[in-house]
Chain A
Amino acid sequence: METYTKKVLEHFKNPHNYGKMKNPDGVGKVGNVACGDVMWLYIKIGKKKIKNKEQEIIKDIKFETYGCTAAIASSSMITDIAKGKTLDQAINISKDDVVKSLEGLPPIKIHCSVLATDALAEAIYDYMKKNNKKIPEKLEKIHKRIEQEKRIVEEKYKDWVKTEEEMHEKE
């Protein structure tokens, strides 16, 4: 496998903003244990005046991740990138932003950066939904895709469980 960059290893060895958050305003839970990656992202929303307009920002952010080196580094990195950003800015953080900040990820680990942006999007979606806010079209699209992917993985996982059960029955 391609080796990890210095930046990835830095974040992996000393991750920023990890742990559970008490009373978060939004939580994003993505990934599946069967695939080897699970990422939970917690956010707290604050308000900040930007150009005389009060805007909602990500005041605090924390993560909990079960996963490989790249998954943990991507989680740590997205918390750094997202902290202090307006919700609109946060929604627009792309996987490439995460990969670039990490100075690269091995090709087979790119999905870890997607997981990180997905977790952030889901946390913002959760906050907006709970507070009856108007959900931007882009966020709605992302949410729908994640839901669909979740169903596909769960379906695949169910099949796996089924073949396992069949295997044991044969014994």
Chain B
Amino acid sequence: MKRIYLDHGATTPVDKEVVKAMLPYLTEKFGNASSIHSFGQEAKDALESSRERIAKKLGAKPNEIIFTSGGSESDNLAIKGVAHAYRKKGNHIITSSIEHPAVLGACKSLAEEGFDITYLEVDKEGFVKPDDVERAITKKTILVSIMHANNEIGTIEPIEEIGKICKSKGVLFHTDAVQSFTKVPIDVNKMNIDLLSISAHKIYGPKGVGALYIREGVKIKKMIDGGHHEFDMRAGTENIPGIVGFAKAVELTNENQIKYMTNLRNKLIKGLLKIPDTILNGPDRKNLSRRLCNNVNISFKFVEGESILLRLDDKGIAVSTGSACSSRSLKPSHVLLAIGLPPQIAHSSIRFTLGRENTIQEINYTIKTTKEVVEELRKLSPFCN
């Protein structure tokens, strides 16, 4: 059976070109970038040129990029690192109620240490209001952390406006750009971003590698102690094959892929909403320019998400319910509840996240199959007969 992968928000396949770029650094160019000999220098050169290429994509300087093990580590390092470095200045952090669990988890840990966290509410499409950020800032505020684009419902937050507010108030601004990186343009200077998290495996790079942009002059307390790697902000021998793969993955992205995915996304939304009793979660159809180019999140009333997921899987289509991270828990997604969905509608939601290798034929098959699966499951539901 042909399989169709529509869960690119969870992870993506590693591009063949990326694998090709990585291979030498697993075999003959295996050196430790801290070694002075030629093996080490080979690795060091690859590390620094990768750093430059990723910095360029963000409009940052190379020495403002530090490599990590992925998005979750970047989020933790940004939030805990800033909190611990600026504790004397204040103990207040502002974030939103729809952040990734890595951000919410880091904030929860800090709350246990005595930090004061404000969780901003979002509107029914998932947008944070910049005015709310401004109002929430106090003399004790040291950091605002608002994601660039939401992983579940694809809402692109107004981070440029939020960045401006933070700058004028003298508060640091972090954004989790794991889902948006290479899909929505980012310029850390134009957007007044002080810290930004990104990850390789969401953009056809390998798993286990990410980066954190830290504006020059911003202090963070190191989390992993050891050697003086990564400008003395994160100890540990650099994952050179991963980092090389990350930089290659960034280089392989372009405008046309975004346009291509946007077109597929719009077709998928249009087709799925023709199924009766469906709701598009996140930015609505008039607001699609503020939605991630590859995200579709729909509630199919009267049927439960996991049932749809497994019936679709049976037909070769891979999707997710809410976010992949919460598929182990029975609670409905915190994001869907935060946009005001009643639990039964939240339980009925499916996320389709597209990739550049998906085809229009796959989208058409998905629309047709989803319609069949939902109709079959509704025959079992007490709410439809």
Interface residues, chain A, with chain B CB atoms under 8 Å away:
1, 4, 9, 12-13, 15, 18-20, 29, 33-40, 63-69, 71-72, 108, 157, 160, 164, 167-168, 170-171
Q: Tell me the minimal C-beta distance from B374 to chain A in angstroms.
A: 13
Q: Is the CB of A71 within 8 A of B304?
A: yes
Complex CA–CA separation, A60 to B314 (angstroms): 30
18 A-B residue pairs with CB within 8 Å: A1-B328, A4-B310, A9-B314, A12-B310, A19-B379, A35-B330, A36-B332, A36-B347, A38-B383, A64-B385, A65-B382, A66-B303, A66-B381, A69-B306, A71-B304, A72-B307, A72-B380, A108-B330
Interface residues on chain B, size class: 20 to 34
From B305, B314, B382, B383, A13 is in contact (CB under 8 Å) with: B314
Q: Is B121 an interface residue (CB 8 A)?
A: yes
Q: Is the CB of B304 within 8 A of A36?
A: yes
Q: Is the CB of B307 within 8 A of A12?
A: yes
From B121, B307, B381, B383, A69 is in contact (CB under 8 Å) with: B307
Q: Tell me the minimal C-beta distance from B329 to chain A in angstroms.
A: 8
Interface residues, chain B, with chain A CB atoms under 8 Å away:
121, 123, 302-307, 310-311, 314, 327-328, 330, 332, 340, 342-344, 347, 379-383, 385
Q: Is the CB of A64 within 8 A of B381?
A: yes
Q: Tell me the minimal C-beta distance from B334 to chain A in angstroms.
A: 13
Contacts of A170 in B (CB 8 A): 121
From A4, A65, A171, B381 is in contact (CB under 8 Å) with: A65
Contacts of A36 in B (CB 8 A): 304, 330, 332, 343-344, 347
Complex CA–CA separation, A29 to B382 (angstroms): 10
Known: A36-B347, A40-B382, A160-B343. A66 touches B304 (CB 8 A): yes
Contacts of B332 in A (CB 8 A): 36
Complex CA–CA separation, A169 to B334 (angstroms): 19
